[in-house]
């Protein structure tokens, strides 16, 4: 393996030319536009458009205000030498249009009630067997894979190969992912879970900050938790319903949340990007487990879920993959969890 994404009233179409950056906003007429809380003008009464010139690269916040009760807010990130087109629908959220999803919402952490489930499969390969009984406690999991917007807001850079603020972050190592978790925890006044350096890093599961999911938590959530219907993929037996993989991905990762969610309301657990788990890779046994955290030491960290470039079988809920924690790759990202 190589070094390894409501009520609203406006339709906004934002085109960003990132070198000499220009933002064109199209929406209903006579709407006031703010860029980073500074008034830049209003859309024209004839065409409903506004051109903003000389926008510097970096993170920005656009606001479209018709009245005190009708305000549209959208965060954008302007990359040098890149062109990004963002489309926003008014008031009613259309699930097929990712840019209508409010990625800043606190609802993006889904509460998952703990329970006991059958982990693994005897029908795939030796790494995914034997099937064994596992119990996990309650936890919260991010509804979406961590997006480039999420990453930039915390880390201040964007290592991704497929640029797009609502695309999942890729090209991040396991070490980079846990650094993101700790920084996000500190930013939000939570207790960081990780301490120590390099392969001596420890995760304190008692802390209330963000961390990577254990492999057991990941599979429990992918199966649908206590609402599981024993689907092959996360939310369906039809891979095209829920996953971006080599047949439908157009050879790239895609914005989060555009496929069907699973029974818990979580998106993209099958396909799009492989996702880092907290565990070192270890062998399964038939013995029942309670909140397993994996081996204490190892060479490889667990990856789950499949990617945009793989066959459908690798997007199964049960397939286990691996990566060295230093490795980063265009096919790998992550999502986060928290202990209640």
User: In this structure, are 192 and 83 located in the same domain?
Assistant: no
User: In this structure, are 46 and 138 located in the same domain?
Assistant: no
- Angle separating helix axes 174-187 and 148-155, nearest 10 degrees: 70
User: In this structure, are 85 and 161 located in the same domain?
Assistant: no
**pLDDT attached to residue 1:** 52
**pLDDT attached to residue 39:** 82
Task: Give the lowest-confidence range in 57-61, 85-89, 90-94, 103-107.
Answer: 90-94
- pLDDT band for position 222 (50/70/90)? very high
Q: Biggest alpha carbon distance in the chain?
A: 71
Q: Shortest CA distance to 272 belongs to which of 284, 286, 259, 283?
A: 259
User: In this structure, are 199 and 277 located in the same domain?
Assistant: yes
Q: What range defines the domain where residue 229 resides?
A: 109-338
- Answer with the one of 46, 78, 100 that is the final residue of a domain: 100
Interior CA angle at 79 toward 74 and 85, to 5°?
50
Stretch 178-203: mean pLDDT: 94
Stretch 17-31: mean pLDDT: 65
Q: With respect to residue 167, please indicate whether it lies within any of the assigned structural domains.
A: yes
Residues 286-303: tens digit of each pLDDT: 999 999 999 999 999 999
- pLDDT band for position 46 (50/70/90)? low
The residue assigned the tokens 């915390």 is 154
**pLDDT attached to residue 85:** 47
Q: With respect to residue 92, please indicate whether it lies within any of the assigned structural domains.
A: yes
Both tokens of 120, joined, read 């693994």
- Answer with the one of 79, 100, 121 that is the final residue of a domain: 100
User: In this structure, are 162 and 60 located in the same domain?
Assistant: no
- Answer with the one of 52, 77, 100 that is the final residue of a domain: 100
Concatenating the DSSP letter of every residue in 100-162 gives GS-TT-GGGEEEE--EEEEE--SSS-GGG-S-EEEEE--EEEESSPPBHHHHHHHHS----SS
Residue 161: pLDDT over 50 = yes
Q: Are 332 and 274 in contact (CB under 8 A)?
A: yes
User: In this structure, are 88 and 65 located in the same domain?
Assistant: yes
**pLDDT attached to residue 124:** 81
Both tokens of 26, joined, read 């199209």
**pLDDT attached to residue 260:** 96
Stretch 250-274: mean pLDDT: 96
User: In this structure, are 233 and 88 located in the same domain?
Assistant: no
Q: With respect to residue 87, please indicate whether it lies within any of the assigned structural domains.
A: yes
For residue 57, give the CATH number of its domain: 2.60.40
Q: With respect to residue 70, please indicate whether it lies within any of the assigned structural domains.
A: yes
Residue 68: pLDDT over 70 = no
Stretch 137-155: mean pLDDT: 96
**pLDDT attached to residue 78:** 62
- Residue 172 contacts by C-beta under 8 Å, 6 or more apart in sequence? 151, 159, 180, 328, 332, 333, 334
Q: With respect to residue 168, please indicate whether it lies within any of the assigned structural domains.
A: yes
**pLDDT attached to residue 72:** 66
The residue assigned the tokens 């120590």 is 196
User: In this structure, are 215 and 132 located in the same domain?
Assistant: yes
Q: With respect to residue 6, please indicate whether it lies within any of the assigned structural domains.
A: no
Residue 67: pLDDT over 70 = no
The rounded distance, in Å, linking the Cα atoms of 210 and 212 is 7
The rounded distance, in Å, linking the Cα atoms of 224 and 147 is 22
For residue 271, give the CATH number of its domain: 3.90.1580.10
The rounded distance, in Å, linking the Cα atoms of 164 and 332 is 15
Q: Shortest CA distance to 21 belongs to which of 43, 5, 36?
A: 36
User: In this structure, are 176 and 128 located in the same domain?
Assistant: yes
Burial class of residue 186 (count of CB atoms within 10 Å of its CB; 0-12, 13-18, 19+): middle
Task: Give the lowest-confidence range in 84-88, 174-178, 318-322.
Answer: 84-88
- pLDDT band for position 12 (50/70/90)? very low
- Count the domains in the chain: 2
Residue 267: pLDDT over 80 = yes
**pLDDT attached to residue 145:** 98
User: In this structure, are 206 and 311 located in the same domain?
Assistant: yes
Q: With respect to residue 7, please indicate whether it lies within any of the assigned structural domains.
A: no
**pLDDT attached to residue 73:** 66
- pLDDT band for position 176 (50/70/90)? very high
**pLDDT attached to residue 292:** 97
Q: Cα Rg for the chain, rounded, in angstroms?
A: 21
Q: With respect to residue 4, please indicate whether it lies within any of the assigned structural domains.
A: no
For residue 148, the tally of other CB atoms under 10 A from its CB is: 26
User: In this structure, are 287 and 186 located in the same domain?
Assistant: yes
User: In this structure, are 60 and 143 located in the same domain?
Assistant: no
**pLDDT attached to residue 88:** 39
Provide the β-strand partners of residue 322: 302
């Amino acid at each position: 393996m190589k070094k390894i994404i409501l009520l609203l009233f406006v339709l906004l179409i934002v085109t960003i030319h990132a070198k000499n950056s220009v933002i064109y906003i199209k929406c209903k007429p006579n709407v006031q536009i703010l860029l980073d809380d500074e008034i830049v003008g209003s859309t024209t009464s004839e065409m409903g458009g506004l051109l903003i010139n000389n926008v510097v690269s970096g993170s920005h916040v656009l606001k479209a205000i018709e009245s005190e009760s009708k305000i549209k807010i959208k965060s954008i990130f302007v990359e040098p030498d890149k062109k990004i087109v963002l489309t926003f629908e008014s008031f009613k959220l259309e699930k097929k249009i990712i840019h209508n999803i409010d990625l800043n919402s606190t609802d993006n952490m889904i509460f998952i009630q703990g329970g006991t489930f059958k982990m693994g499969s005897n029908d795939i390969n030796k790494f995914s067997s034997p099937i064994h009984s596992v119990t996990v406690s309650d936890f919260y999991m991010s509804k979406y894979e961590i997006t480039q917007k999420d990453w930039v807001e915390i880390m201040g850079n964007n290592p991704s190969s497929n640029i797009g603020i609502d695309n999942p972050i890729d090209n991040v190592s396991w070490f980079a992912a846990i650094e993101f978790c700790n920084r996000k925890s500190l930013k939000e006044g939570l207790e960081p879970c990780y301490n120590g350096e390099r392969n001596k890093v420890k995760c304190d599961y008692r802390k209330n900050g963000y961390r990577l999911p254990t492999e057991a938590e990941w599979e429990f959530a992918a199966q649908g938790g206590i609402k599981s219907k024993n689907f092959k993929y996360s939310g369906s037996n039809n891979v095209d319903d829920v996953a971006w993989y080599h047949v439908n991905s157009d050879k790239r990762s895609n914005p989060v949340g555009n496929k069907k969610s699973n029974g818990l309301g979580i998106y993209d657990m099958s396909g799009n990007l492989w996702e880092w788990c907290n565990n070192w890779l270890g062998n399964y046994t038939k013995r029942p487990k309670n909140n397993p955290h994996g081996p204490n030491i190892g060479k490889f960290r667990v990856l789950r879920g499949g990617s945009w470039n793989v066959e459908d079988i690798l997007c199964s809920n049960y397939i286990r993959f691996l990566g060295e924690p230093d490795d980063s790759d265009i096919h790998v990202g992550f999502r986060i969890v928290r202990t209640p």
